[in-house]
Structures are given as structure tokens and as C-alpha cells.
Chains A and B, each alone.
Chain A
Amino acid sequence: MDRERLLVIGNGMAGARAVEEILDRGGGDRFDITMFGDEPYGNYNRISLTNVLAGSEDSREIFLNPLEWYEENGITLLAGAPVVGIDRHARTVRTADGQRHPYDVLVIATGSRPWFPPVDGLRGADGELKPGVFGFRTMADCDAMLAWAEGAQSVAVVGGGLLGLEAGRGLLERGLDVEIVHRSARLMNLQLDAEAAEILHRSVAELGVRVRLDASTARVLGEDRVEGLAFADGTQLACDMVVFATGIRPNIELAARAGLRVERGIVADDAMRVLDEDDVYTVGECVQHRGEVYGLVAPLWEQATVLADRITGANPHAEYHGSKLATKLKVSGVDLAQMGIVEPEDERDEVVRFAEPRRGVYKTVIVREGKLVGAILLGDVSRVSFLTQAYDRGTVLPEEGVSLLFDLGGPPAEVSIEELPDDAQVCDCNGVSKGDLRSCVATGKRTLREVQGATRAGMGCGSCKAEVLQIVEWAAGGALEADPAADWYVPAIPMTKRQLMAAVRERGLHSVSAVLAELGGGTEDPQAKPALASLLRLVWGAAYDDERDARFINDRVHANIQHDGTFSVVPRIAGGVTSSDQLRRIADVADKYTVPMIKITGGQRIDLLGVRKEDLPKVWKDLDMPSGYAYGKSFRTVKTCVGTDFCRFGLGDSTTLGVRIEERFKGLESPAKLKLGVAGCPRNCSEAMVKDVGFVAVEGGRWEMYVGGAAGAHVRKGDVLCTVDTADEAIQMTGRFIQYYRENAKWLERTYTFMERVAVDEVRAVVVEDRDGEAARLDEAVQASVDAYRDPWLEAREPKTANQFRSVVAEAS
């Protein structure tokens, strides 16, 4: 049978979840699946963006499915070309590049976008949002906000709902002065009654967030960039950043143009099929079902299940009947959960209320004929599992139920965990039940991290983490172990990096095998070997006993392995300054070894790609240039601009400084790669502000030193560590900072993570101000490492190990 073509428009949480559910039901055998997405990466957990904003999670941690997932499941992801039309008669989808893609089954998961109120001055003349104004929906929004926040003092968050509060809290963490501006008379007016909103207001204010209620935003002030907001009552608020969290609107235009039934959302029946269509389905925030449009994640999971049951035929009668809504606020310092109705709506409704405003605690439940129909828990959410369960299932509460809800002198919270049935879903994002957690603990997992690793519980939006921990603690019966391993340098040895370095020195351990034998209980964890090799080289320098099997292949053959098993060769071109003679040699080598690709790298060097392992020593000899270390966890390159030599704007001799730094620290072993930059003026042509270490020349012959910058998977402007007067001083501070980083960073921890963990003030105190009297020792230590440098490409003349550069060893004769 021919495989059917399944097209999914939208690669967000709903589209991806629908495909996951389809694959779970064997749909991978039946369908060729193509997904169209606006955002050019795998799909991620949008709910966690507020955590990324607050800095409690890294953007890399929130990916649900990385790009490999698509490949592994045979899914074609077309992220470049947005879908611009659907022809439901020809059964094709048209993309912006003019291509037509036929389908047998179509899923529309176009989601929603932020809605901006009609406010004057929102947009510039170009129709784009005025610089400093943001919506909050995508990772790009989040990155843009973080970048802007670096230079901002105060932010107005328009919208006092769930997202506005979370965004405000996040930006407070980033050091901004935050004011939440809300139209209504109470915060979270959709979810809270007046009394709860009042208490929430107070709790939020205690965190340091100001709240302005009954404020109707009339105008965004400022010509070229935001300078403030003006309100309908004539008052104003000065700020240099504005975030709108004023709700979402379903993306329905595509469906409407295609002639599909559209009202507030794309109208779907109980099968999640678009009304009157046989083979067009829809899922997520673009859907209108029984008059409801949802903006929360749980309904989307339920819809995806029904859709997958239908499309795969796993359950041809599956039906979606709408979702019950429960929300949790992810604002650290404020616990809030709400479900169902907010105020009594029926004369049968009984309300039980408990308030302790001074402690910030407020709890109310609404019960109708013995069943829970609504609840607000603020400041104390210990009973939330039990209540959510009772609400979802509509179970009849026990006679004394109401008193049970409140723990008034009653049994402690563990009882509520115990009361939960095994099939109660704890983690909605990853569908993990209490029973799953219990059986995971029963298999011997004894730390939260192990249980999370095995079940993925709490690794979605994270709002259930506390509950997961409670259940794991309960299931382990007190045998839960804290996870000290988080601070260990390698999992096999229970020591931090500092402790391990001391132990290595004390016992005189010079090789990886000796360290593992003495300190690792004889294990030989292959993951740990390169990490330990790096640490030993740091401790012993040239006296390190270099066991080659501890190295990653790149460091065994001093080249970067490529996807087909060939290697790339990057000779050192310090500061990006080369000569016609070098270029001629590189060209000759490329011809002689038929190098398939010659590429100028981002670090201003030349990369010869596709070199056979056998040819590496010959290539190095013919090049007669030293290694550029473009393969190692080490000091790599210094990117420079032309500086004062030729540039008419140059303030400092950036080229000379860059070459000197690279010549001095070339190849230095490091926890992760180090890429540097030197810019001759604040125009920053060599991008020094986003390098691991960067120098920018400023007036008066001085250099500003930036550390912890990044412009890769993660984008971060470096922290200004200090300003130095001379090039010599710049070189000294570079060495001292790098040595401090080498001694204190975790394995593979880039400087941008390191700086956020340690904080620039602390680094400055040690490295610049010499608070601990460590400076001279750091300078000496880095000098010793510099002295131990030896160009690894000299191994071309004397290989270190048998068949070091042979990709195939012939059989014995």
C-alpha cells in the first residue's frame, strides 16, 4: 500500500505533540510526515520561556524535540518557507517559495500570536514595533527582550494576567525596575476573585514589583525608542522598555482564506476535524471547539490525543468534549493555583473560604452537589494535587470533604499524595502519572534527577516539579537522596573540581587511569576520561602522563572529525593576519590532497574540510604551519579588526594586540573552547563584545575588557570586567582571567554560563582587585601552561601511537 502524505502546518507545541501521538500509534509506518514551521529549530516548550526570561532555565533546556528527532522519525521539517495557501479541492498546500505540497491528510496547528491593544505610538513609521516594545510569545521575543534588558533600567509590563506576572517577575530577576500595568481593577481577573487578587497584589508588591490597576494605556511615548507610557487618565509612566502581555489571537487567516469554517478560531468538531471537511484536522490554540478557544497547554494535549486516535484509526470513535481549565502561576515566591469557576454561578453552589492575608494565604473552594467546581489556592498549594484530581474527575467529595480540603489541624500534606490514585497525572507536559513515578522509584532510582531522567517528569513547563519531588519522596519512604553529584566534576568521582585538583596533587596522580583507579573505585567511565585529561593537564602541565585513549578522537589526531569520518584542518593564522606565501601553500595543499571544501571560518581562519585521516600528517608537513586548535576544548582564535594600521576610525592597535594574545595563549587547555576578539573601536567590527574574552579600544588609548560573551547557540553580551591602560596589561588580565576560569569552571562550561553562575562582581574581586591575594599565583600558573605549549602537528614527524593516522588497518598476513 502506498504511504499516505500527512502535512502538518505548524511546528509548535500542538503540531509536534500531535505528531508524537500519531507516531506513538504506529503512524510512522503509514504516513510520510512533513511539518511546516516558522521557527527554524526543533520545537520547544513555550510555557518555559518565562523561566528562560527569569534565567532559571537555559533556552537549550526547553527543547521538547531537537532537530534529530525529526530525522530519527523520518519527518521532513520545512522551516524556511511559510505556508501561504491551502487548496482543499486539489488537496495541496502552497508555500511562499511557490512550491505545492500534496496531502492526503492535513493538520492545521497554526497556533496564535500576541495581541496588541490599539495604542498610539505602538509602531514606528516602518510598521514594526517601536524599538523597546515587545510581545512575548517566541524564543526570538525572549532573546530580543533579554538583549534589550541589558541596557534598560525600567520596564512596564502591560497586562496583569498569568503571562504578564511571569514576565514581570522574570525581568525583575534581570535587575530591571518593573511596573505591571493592568486595565482591570484586579490582577488575574479571569482567574481570581477580588479578595484573592488583593492578596496576590500584596505578595507581588513584596517581591518588588509595582502594580498599577485600572490603567488604560493610551500611548507609547518616545520618538525613536520607548521612553514611557501615557494613560487615558492623563498620567504617565517613564520607562525604557514595554512588554505587552495582553492576550493572544488565534492564527486563522490561512484557514479563512482557504474557505474553511472560521469564527474566533478554526471551528472543529469532536473528532478535531475542521467542520465539513473529511481529511483536514486542527489542533491547539487556533482551534475553536464548542465555542471555546483555549490558551493553555492541557487542552492542547487532550486534543492531540483525540486527533491522533482518529487519524491513525487507533480509536475511530475518539471524541474531544472540551477541557476543564486549571492554571498554575510560575512566579517564584508566589504559589498560586486555580481551577474551574471563580465565583459561585448557581444557587446550589456552596463556597468555603479561608483567608489569612497577613501570611499571604487565601483558599477557596466552590462545591456543587458534592462535587468540586472551582478552587483558588494562593500562598499554600499543599492540597493542589488532591483538588485537581477531584475537579478533573468530578468525584463526589466525602461528607467531611470540605474540611479535608483545608488541613485545619488535620493530617500533613503527604496524606494528600497518598490519597492520589496511581493513574493521576502529575506531569501534564510529559504525561507522567503518580504510578509511573512510584514504579520508577521501585526500580531503585533514589534521586530526583534519576527519576526525572527516566520519566521526564517535571521537565516540561516545570510547574509540577515540587509535586514530583513530594511524590518521589513519599514513594522512596524517606530514602530519597539529595543529589550531591550535581557539583562533582565527573560522575565517577565524588569530588568538586577544586577537591579533585587537590587530591590529584596530594596523591601525585599523573594519568587518567591512575585517577580513576585511586579515586573512582576502579571504574573507567568513558565520558569522564576527556574531562580528567583536561584537568590533569591543567594541574601538571608538561608533566602530565598523556594516555591517548583518554582523549576524544579530535585530540588524538589534532583535527575535527566530520560527519563522514573525514577531518577538517585549520592552521593557525594569528589574529586573522596571513601572507601571500601562506595562502599559496594552503592552495597547493588543497590541490595536492583534493580537499573538497576550503572555507573561511568565523574566527578569521581557513578551514580545509574533508581531509582523510591518512593524509593529516602529510597535510601538516606541506602546510608547514602550526595547529589552529579548531578541534579542541582549548584556546582557539582571536578575531581582530584592522585597527589603527589602516582603519580611519581605529582608536587602538587591535591587530597587534590580537596577534600577541593568540601567540601567547595558543592551544591552552580549557574547560570549553575559548574564542576571543579585539576591536579597535566601539564599532566592534570583530564582535569582541560577544566573545569569551574581548577587548574594545576606547578613547585615551585604553581597552575595555569583556568576558563571558557569546554569539552561538546562546547569545550574550559580555560583562565588562575592567578597563586597562596598555596592551601588556590586557595580555596579563587575559591570562589571569583564563586561568581563573580554567580552575573554577565545570567541564564543558562555556564562559557565558560560568559568568552567570559565578557573577562578574566575584570574578572582578579575585582577578582585578586581587581580594584573595591570588593574582600572582594565577599569573604564574598560566605562565607555566604557556611554557608547556608544543605544537601537536609536530606529531606528523613522530606519531604517538600505533596506526595513529590510519583509518583502516589491513589484516595480518
Chain B
Amino acid sequence: MTEHRAASLADIPVGEGRMLRVGGHLVAVFHLRGGTVRATQAWCPHRGGPLADGLVGDGSLICPLHGRTFDLASGDAQRSEVGIATYPARVDDDGTIMLELPDARPLPCTTDAGWDEVAPDAAPADPPFAAQRE
């Protein structure tokens, strides 16, 4: 794991998420009400929804496509075996978001058994995201 300097906290509106490019990886980062940040893999394991566009609150994240719900801290899914990867995130004194990301690429592959099985489906085939993945 390596800690990276990501975007500034001001780049993400309060209560929302944005997809950030960090060290060649794409990560969904959320600026929670209260000022803390959380980081997860960029795409939903179900059908590849952009998680950064989801609704957050009470420590959960709802995927914008089909409403899969995940715990922002553990990555566990409600009513499903397949969770998401989460990454340690904090805000530096100068307002920079600091993310700890694994060194291996590509990113969202984790040890989570479910992910590998759904990975082919999870990759959106069409632009814009396909072009931006690598």
C-alpha cells in the first residue's frame, strides 16, 4: 500500500462523490457531511454503475443504476455477497485528500471472491468509461 495525494477536498461538494484519477487508478471518493472522506472502487460490481454518482448517508452508498447498497467503511453489500473494495482515506492539513491504495494494478480487483466472477460484466463496454479505464 502506498499513500497518494489525490484531489483537494474542495473538488468534491459536501455529501457527494466524485471519481478521482490517482496514480493511474480510478477511485470513487466521497466527501461526507461532517467533513470526513471515504474511498471505494470506482464501479459497482453488479452492472458497472459509476459509484461516485451514488447517494450517500449514514455510512452507506447507493449505486445510481440499480440501487445496490454498500457500507462505505467495510465495503459489505446489503442483501448480496458481492461487496466493494474500500481504501483508507483522510484529509491532510492543507485540504488534500490522501488515499492509501494497493500497489498492484489494475485497481478494483480485490481478494473478494465475488468480484472476479462479475468483473467481465462490470466493465462498461462503451465510452466514456472504457476509454478512461487504462
Interface of A with B (CB < 8 Å)? 68, 513, 523-530, 547-550, 552-553, 556, 561, 563-566, 596, 610, 612-614, 801-804, 806-812
Contact = CB atoms under 8 A, between A and B. Distances in A.
B13 A809 contact: no
A809 B126 contact: no
B49 A809 contact: no
B16 A526 contact: no
Contacts, number: 119
B129 A565 contact: yes
A528 B58 CA distance: 11
A564 B48 contact: yes
20 contacts: A526-B58, A528-B57, A547-B15, A549-B16, A564-B125, A564-B126, A566-B126, A596-B126, A613-B128, A801-B13, A802-B11, A802-B12, A808-B19, A808-B21, A809-B11, A809-B21, A811-B4, A811-B5, A811-B22, A812-B7
Contacts of A812: 5-8, 96
B89 interface: no
A803 B11 contact: yes
Given A525-B57, A804-B13, 5 more contacts: A527-B55, A565-B50, A610-B126, A811-B21, A812-B7
B12 A552 contact: no
Q: Closest 8 A-B residue pairs measured CB to CB? A: A549-B15, A526-B57, A524-B57, A801-B13, A553-B53, A564-B124, A526-B55, A565-B50
A811 B124 CA distance: 22
A808 B29 CA distance: 11
A809 B19 contact: yes
Nearest to B46: A72
Contact of B128 (A549, A550, A565): A565
Given A803-B18, A807-B129, A529 B7 contact: no
Contacts of B56: 526, 549
Nearest to B80: A72
Nearest to B126: A564
A802 B14 CA distance: 10
Contacts of A561: 53, 64-65
A549 B14 contact: yes
Nearest to B8: A812
Contacts of A548: 13, 15-16
Contacts of A803: 11-13, 18
Which of A524, A804, A811 has the most chain B CB atoms inside 10 A of its CB? A811
B13 A811 contact: no
A561 B44 CA distance: 14
B131 to A, nearest CB: 10
A811 B128 contact: no
A807 B15 CA distance: 16
Given A564-B129, A807-B128, A527 B62 contact: yes
B76 to A, nearest CB: 16
A803 B124 CA distance: 22
B55 A811 contact: no
B64 A811 contact: no
B21 A810 contact: yes
Given A564-B126, A802-B12, A523 B58 contact: yes
Nearest to B32: A524
B125 A552 contact: no
B126 to A, nearest CB: 4
B23 interface: yes
A530 B56 CA distance: 11
B78 to A, nearest CB: 11
B10 interface: yes
A570 to B, nearest CB: 18
Contacts of B61: 526
B90 interface: no
B132 interface: yes
B81 to A, nearest CB: 10
A524 B11 contact: no
A563 B22 CA distance: 24
Interface string B1-40: 0001111101111111011111100100000010000000
Contacts of B54: 526, 553
A549 B33 contact: yes
Contacts of B127: 564, 566, 612
Contacts of B26: 808
B60 A801 contact: no
A553 B64 contact: yes
A563 B46 CA distance: 11
B26 to A, nearest CB: 7
Contacts of B64: 552-553, 561
Interface in B71-106: 96
Contact of B60 (A526, A549, A613, A811): A526
A725 B68 CA distance: 49
A803 B62 CA distance: 20
Contacts of B55: 526-527, 529-530, 549, 552-553
Given A524-B57, A549-B13, A565 B132 contact: no
Given A561-B64, A802-B10, A809 B129 contact: no
Contacts of B128: 565-566, 612-614, 807
Nearest to B123: A564
A548 B54 CA distance: 12
Contacts of A68: 66
Contacts of A811: 4-7, 20-23
B95 to A, nearest CB: 10
Contacts of B57: 523-526, 528-529
A640 B64 CA distance: 32
Contacts of B65: 561, 563
Contacts of B47: 563
Nearest to B25: A811
Nearest to B43: A565
Contacts of B14: 547, 549
A808 B16 contact: no
A801 B16 CA distance: 10
Nearest to B132: A808
Nearest to B44: A565
Which of A523, A547, A802 has the most chain B CB atoms inside 10 A of its CB? A802
B71 to A, nearest CB: 12
A565 B49 contact: yes
Contacts of A804: 13
B7 A809 contact: yes
A807 B53 CA distance: 9
Contacts of B60: 526
A565 B48 contact: yes
Contacts of B19: 807-809
A566 B15 CA distance: 22
B134 to A, nearest CB: 13
Nearest to B96: A812
Nearest to B60: A526
B101 to A, nearest CB: 11
Nearest to B24: A811
A447 to B, nearest CB: 18
A632 B96 CA distance: 34
Contacts of A596: 126
A76 to B, nearest CB: 14
A528 to B, nearest CB: 8
A564 to B, nearest CB: 4
Nearest to B66: A68
A565 B53 contact: yes
Contacts of B62: 526-527
A529 B26 CA distance: 27
Contacts of A610: 126
A802 B128 CA distance: 20
Contact of B124 (A525, A565, A612, A613): A565
A524 B33 contact: yes
A476 B110 CA distance: 42
A556 B14 CA distance: 13
